[in-house]
């Protein structure tokens, strides 16, 4: 498992045993996600701010079973993307918006 985004948002994940990567640029993030995918990383947490920059890469990964890429709120630039993704998953699973 890994977490990537700005330092202030992801450094705490290291205490939980996750690999943490301080990334703020789109090109660097795309390369890192591909590397983690090739290394067999199963779950990647990405700050919402960074996820906005790499939407095309996240769309590609959404078609594959792994890695699961989960947008999380960060210290800066929250967009609500993570909650929207959870809501969409619930609607798919249950058939209606219960969140």
Residue-wise pLDDT for 9-55, tens only, equals 999 999 999 999 999 999 999 999 999 999 999 999 999 999 999 99
Task: Report how many domains make up the chain.
Answer: 1
User: Would 22 be classed as within a structural domain?
Assistant: yes
Residue 61 belongs to what domain range? 2-94
Residue 75 near residue 6 (C-beta atoms within 8 A):
yes
User: Would 15 be classed as within a structural domain?
Assistant: yes
User: Would 47 be classed as within a structural domain?
Assistant: yes
The CATH number assigned to the domain holding 28 equals 3.40.50.10580
Q: What is the pTM of this model?
A: 0.81
Q: What does the pLDDT average to over 70-83?
A: 77
Q: Which helix (H) or strand (E) holds 95?
A: none
User: Would 99 be classed as within a structural domain?
Assistant: no
Closest Cα to residue 22, out of 66, 88, 99, 12? Answer: 12
Q: Which helix (H) or strand (E) holds 5?
A: strand 2-5
Contact partners, residue 30, CB within 8 Å, separation at least 6: 54, 57
Rounded to the nearest integer, the mean pLDDT of the chain is 87
- Identify the three-state secondary structure at position 79: coil
């Amino acid at each position: 498992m890994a977490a990537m985004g700005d330092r202030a948002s992801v450094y705490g994940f290291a205490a939980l045993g996750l690999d943490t990567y301080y990334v703020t640029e789109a090109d660097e993030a795309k390369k890192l996600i591909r590397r983690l995918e090739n290394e067999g990383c199963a779950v990647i947490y990405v700050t919402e701010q960074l996820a906005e920059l790499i939407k095309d890469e996240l769309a590609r990964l959404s078609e594959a079973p792994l890695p699961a890429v989960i947008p999380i709120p960060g210290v800066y630039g929250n967009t609500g993307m993570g909650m929207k993704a959870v809501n969409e998953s619930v609607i798919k699973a249950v058939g209606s918006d219960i969140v």
